[in-house]
Structure 1
Amino acid sequence: MVWKAHWTRVMENMLDSPHVAFVHSRTFGAPVAELLKANPGARMETRFEAHEHGGRIAAAIDGEERPAALDYRFPNLMELTLDPKGRLFRILAVCIPLSERETRLLLVTARSFLRLRLFDPLFGRANRRIAEEDRAIVESSLPPIVPPPEEEKSLPTDAPTLAFRRIYRQRLLGSRG
């Protein structure tokens, strides 16, 4: 899919776990949305655990760790680990810069179940549907390139996206794309 957005905005969206319950409440965010609806005072916490290749994003609601793991791989890859009931299930998102205002979003699913090729279109459609839920938000984000972390008001749950912004500014700003 080609999005009309700078790659940093697309990547930042892939690393923003708090939005899942709201933007994706009818798809893969439904379990978190239901949990929050049942517990209106629930509190989400996120943290970014840096490592040499990027970082791991962990989320907890009311102190209970969420089962999904989200990894940022420098500079432009996200790996979501879902692994239901011991099965392997990963979604990888690669944000490929095409220009200052266009990014190719490549979504790849790896799984240890439903491995026959006839299921590939099903997973492809699901990935596209989820991505489309984000597209209008990302394409309308201003400024077009993620700003420095200190330029916007942030919440504690923004720690992972702020970490990405710092990494981008420290290691990539001024490079091509």
Structure 2
Amino acid sequence: MLKNFWYAVEFSAAVTGSPTPVKLMGENYVLYRGEDGQVVAMRDRCIHRGASLAGGWVEGNCIRCPYHGWRYEADGTCVHIPADQAGTPIPKRARIDSFPIEERYGLVWLFVGDLPAEQRPPIPALPEYGDPAWRMITGEYTWNAHYTRVVESGLDSSHAPFVHSVFFNLRDDAEVPPYEVQMEDWSATARTISKPPKRAGLLKLIVKRDRPFSSATLTAHMPNINRIHLDFNFRGYQYIYFASNIPVDENTTLTKWIGLRNFLPQAWADWNSRKNTNDTYLEDKAVIESQVPRVVPLTGEILLASDSLQLAYRKLIRQCVERGWAVGSDYGIPSVSVSTNGNGKAPIEVSVG
């Protein structure tokens, strides 16, 4: 788990004038929206006797502790202790850690780390959000898995014929053509070409049977964002899956996702998009939750040419760990070397050590 990134921890619509608890990297936080409309984030622990502020209430732009009524300003400073007599000075240590917040793409982004604003990695772009040409749905689900395994699943095109039989039922045609990975400071992207997936659900009605190929542009935005951009290669129809895979703790990931499509813009078609996403999650869940060790990068795994995007993601993780940004368990990441069979293609074996 990595600090010094913006984490999309909740949908904006879910944060109101009542305290909302969230958990990130094993730490508890509380969100609320003050009367000025701004979202506030604090550590969910009263400095007095350790009670959870999530059980309290909001007054103006402040939050009250439910145990003894201590009132905290949006910056975490305590401004009222009901048990004290009027005029009693409030201890300078009576304050709670507060954290930077951004609202973007209908999500609340929380920054936990020690970097000044100008040095923080940016929030990933989602330019299609709010564009009337794209119909949006949202959802969430939970994994009993480390977030790195969840992210890597969203970068993996070679598992589709074996895990997602609804759309990919040709196990004898699982070859992944060579692809290039584009790496930036905080992301890795690849475009993969494949034979068209099986038409299922409403796709039977709107996409023709015979198409030469379809494509998927897969991106990992550090440390926990998947963007999957599907192009059906028919009338420009596309679907985008943008997911914040929240590291709740070492063993739990909560995914908040946005789905965008530029076809069938009517509300009645939302159920199909949501069903397809949830069905895919359930298929992936069974496999991802079985993986050991639970966290990547790892020793003892062999990565091939088809895993080049996952290798790039692991390289980015390693760079962050080397910066001293790791939180929780030690990743234990030594150097990584790569060897090929001489033609630049498969197999590629990754040696860790």
- 1:78 maps onto 2:226 in alignment: yes
Pair 87,59 (structure 1): closer, same or farther in 2 beyond 3 Å? closer
Q: 1:67/1:98 Cα in 2 relative to 1: closer, same or farther (>3 Å)? A: same
Deviations 1:107-166 (A, max 9, x none): 321112222333223211110101111101111111111134x53122221111111112
Deviation of 1:6 after TM superposition, in Å, equals 0.7
Distance in 2 separating the partners of 1:9 and 1:83: 25
Kindly indicate whether the alpha-carbon contact (under 8 Å) linking 1:43 and 1:61 is maintained by their aligned counterparts in 2: yes
| 2:191 alignment counterpart | 58
Unaligned 5+ segments in structure 2 are 1-140, 196-211, 330-353
1:168 to 2:317 alignment: yes
Amino acid at match of 2:219: D
Choose from 214, 217, 231 the match for 1:69: 217
Distance between the aligned counterparts of 1:92 and 1:111, measured in 2?
A: 12
Cα 1:99/1:21, change in 2 over 3 Å: same
Contact kept in structure 2, 1:47 and 1:157, CA below 8 Å: no
Matches within 5 A, 1:6-45: 6-27=146-167, 30=168, 33-34=169-170, 37=172, 42=175, 44-45=177-178
CA contact (8 A) 2:158 2:176 kept: no
Change (3 A) 1:112 1:86: same
Q: Deviations over 1:73-124 (max 9, x none)?
A: 2221111112332134211222111111000122321112222333223211
TM-score normalised per structure 1: 0.81
Greater C-alpha radius of gyration: 2
Among 260, 263, 267, which residue is 1:117 paired with?
Answer: 267
Normalising by structure 2, we get a TM-score of 0.43
Looking at structure 2, the residues matched to 158 and 88 of structure 1 have their Cα atoms a distance apart, in angstroms, of 24
Amino acid at match of 2:302: K
CA RMSD of aligned residues (A): 2.7
- 1:54 positional shift: 0.4
User: CA separation in 1, counterparts of 2:263 and 2:297?
Assistant: 40
Asked whether 1:3 is paired with 2:143, we answer yes
* Contact kept? 2:240, 2:259, Cα under 8 Å: yes
> Residue 52 of structure 1: CA displacement?
3.0
Give, in whole Å, the separation in 1 of the partners of 2:262 and 2:221: 22
Matched positions, count: 168
Letter in 2 for 1:45: P
> What does residue 276 of structure 2 align with?
126
Whole-angstrom distance in 2 between the partners of 1:102 and 1:114: 34
Residue 43 of structure 1 and its aligned partner are, at CA, apart by 5.5
Structure 1 runs of 4+ aligned residues shifted over 4 Å read none
Report which structure shows greater RCO (CA 8 Å, sep ≥6): 1
Identical columns (%): 28
1:66 & 1:112 partners in 2: Cα distance?
16
Specify which structure has the higher proportion of helix.
Answer: 1
Corresponding residue for residue 49 of structure 1: 182
Contact kept in structure 2, 1:55 and 1:72, CA below 8 Å: yes
Which stretches in structure 1 are left out of the alignment for 5+ residues?
none
* Equivalent runs, 1:92-103 vs 2, <5 Å: 92-103=242-253
